[in-house]
Chains A and B, each alone.
Chain A
Amino acid sequence: MIKPRYKVILTIYGLVFGFALYPGLVKADDNTKNGDIARGSQEWANNCARCHNMRDPKEFRDDLWRPIVNHMRVRAGLTGQQTRDILAFLQSSNYTVVAAAVEGDTTRTESSGLSGEQIYKQTCVACHGADGKGAIPGVPDLRTRLSKSDETLLQSIKNGFQSPGSPMAMPPKGGNPNLTDADLEAVLSYIRQAFK
């Protein structure tokens, strides 16, 4: 019944399955495994505009992003790790400015020990690009914003910001809630000095 050529193909499928069920690899149902926000913002910028316009992190609640990223995982052939990282980024970038402002009262002020450049390259580079000109559609050239005062810019970075009619919002702290006030000041002075 089965032609030799198909036997070969079936064998390949069998091998793939054996590999799939190898115990060390079966770990997909672990809900608690956390994604990494910094990696997530990079993966999001790399992958989520591959087929369609970039969807705004603010568009959906935490619990809704989960089936969506799993749907996209199947569509785009993402790895489980990429999916979890992107989910972590989206879930930390969709909260409102109000919540950020309340949280701001208790923000730690000590620096995380990273330099402004390190913080930029971890958290901001995915969207703003190494040259500050914007890596994905909707992210403006930072140079066009630097005439604003430090105070205004820090406020934008801390609480998130969206110009009227802009296609994408700047997420509070670039989506990384671990950044302290001191970190934000450091990264802003890096931006001022790097993108004159």
Chain B
Amino acid sequence: MKNISRKVLFGTLFCLGMIWVPNLTSAEEDTAAMKARIEALEKELAEVKALLKEQIQQSATKEEVQAVKKDVVEKVQAVKKDVEVAKTEQAEWKTYDSTVHLAGYGAVGYTNDDPMNDRFNQVQFNPIFHYLFKDLILLESELELAIEDDGATEIVLEYLTIDWFMNDYMALVGGKFLSPLGQFRQNLHPAWINKLPSAPSGFGHDQAAPVADVGLQLRGGFPIGNPMYANYALFVTNGPELELNMAGDEIEAVETAGVVSNEDENFLFGGRIGFLPIPSLEIGASAAFGDVALEDESDRDYEAWGFDTHWWWRNLDIFGEYIQQEVGSLASSVAPDEQEWEAWYVQASYKLLPTKFEVVARYSDYDSTHADQEQEQWALGLNYLFAPNAIAKFAYEFNDGLDGEPTDDDRLFIQLTYGF
């Protein structure tokens, strides 16, 4: 057995040897090939190494890229956020319910009356407050703060109304408002609007034109065609008060400062309608009726009438207005006579564009049953418009009144005014 296994062992070894020996015989050539292969492999390895290195390097850049990317993403997100905020803010500005706004105007001025009385006599500030809820309710109020002769500051609540926009054609206005009769008092008197530093003769306080009143007003406009259009104002108010002269036997003036009492227990009813056949022409008619009474006396008639017009063409503006107030007679009164105040003016102004100058001329005439109140006036002015709402005015008034009365003195004005 042992021999057999030995034989097998040797046989196997021999066989293996036989397989190996031929290999041995070509060993020399093989080494060369091997060398070449190894070299090739080494080269490949070097290449791979290089590649790897490159890759490693690249992966490093990738990180950087990643960082940059992150940065960019963050920035984009920030921008997006900003845009979002801006959008919300914009939406906020578009959808807010309430707005607060301060408007108004101021005026400073110098006057020289004939004979020789010159002074800086005007320092006036009129702030106007606006509070708007949706497009539904507007509160508007103007204060007038002015320095008086003795240095004290006078404060007047020029107007305060709460306006309710009921629909597209009507607003209900309640409170103290400028008289809707005519155009000067309600639309043209603010210093930056008025093209002259003074009111036309008869259109000042306690003269022919009603100034203000307290009550209710319905205002609005409606199209009549295109572009024809009309606007209106109807009102019911406490009405004016009567002022007696020094002697106490004549009614000196109708006070229309706007009072919150109504001792005569009579309301005043009235209104104005403005018609614009073409956009550059407005024709207005006003009227008011009511009863007035002196204290502890019976009623007497009160009436006011007015017509106004405005026409403009390019740089030319022409305004005209007539107004009158009348108080009826009453035999039982301490001041039995009927009284009448009547005034009118025509004003033309022309902008000398492209310069900033504007020239103005105005004629006004004030008639009254009291001769000392009457006045006829020419006013000429030269304005310099820093802006449409910031104006320097130089003006001269030629006045003709009762001899010896202040109404007869000519006046020179310089005024600086700014509306905001």
Contact = CB atoms under 8 A, between A and B. Distances in A.
A145 interface: no
B231 A71 contact: no
Interface stretch (A23-31, A116-124, A171-179): A23-31
Contact of A165 (B173, B221, B356): B356
A64 B96 CA distance: 12
Interface string A10-53: 00110010001100011111110000000000100111011111
Contacts of A70: 130, 132, 135, 138, 163, 165
Contact-residue size bin, chain A (C-beta under 8 Å from the other chain): 35 or more
A76 B230 CA distance: 10
A71 B138 contact: yes
Nearest to B92: A63
Nearest to A33: B135
A56 interface: yes
Interface residues of B, number: 66
Given A16-B218, A76-B221, A77-B231, A52 B170 contact: no
A5 B236 CA distance: 13
A52 B192 contact: yes
Contacts of B255: none
Interface in B152-190: 163, 165-173, 183, 186-188, 190
B165 to A, nearest CB: 4
B250 interface: no
Interface in B219-244: 219-223, 227, 230-234, 236
Given A20-B166, A80-B167, A31 B221 contact: no
Interface stretch (A96-104, A133-141, A146-154, A188-196): A133-141
B323 to A, nearest CB: 17
B193 interface: yes
A63 B94 CA distance: 8
B269 A166 contact: no
Nearest to A70: B138
A143 interface: no
A193 to B, nearest CB: 24
Contacts of B230: 77
Contacts of A55: 388-389
Given A68-B103, A137-B314, A77 B232 contact: yes
A74 interface: yes
- In the A-B complex, list the 5 residue pairs whose CB atoms are closest, starting with the nearest: A77-B231, A80-B168, A53-B388, A46-B279, A25-B167
Interface of B: 93, 95-97, 99-101, 103, 130-132, 134-136, 138, 140, 163, 165-173, 183, 186-188, 190, 192-193, 218-223, 227, 230-234, 236, 267, 269, 274, 279-280, 282, 289, 310, 312, 314-315, 351, 353-354, 356, 385, 387-389, 419
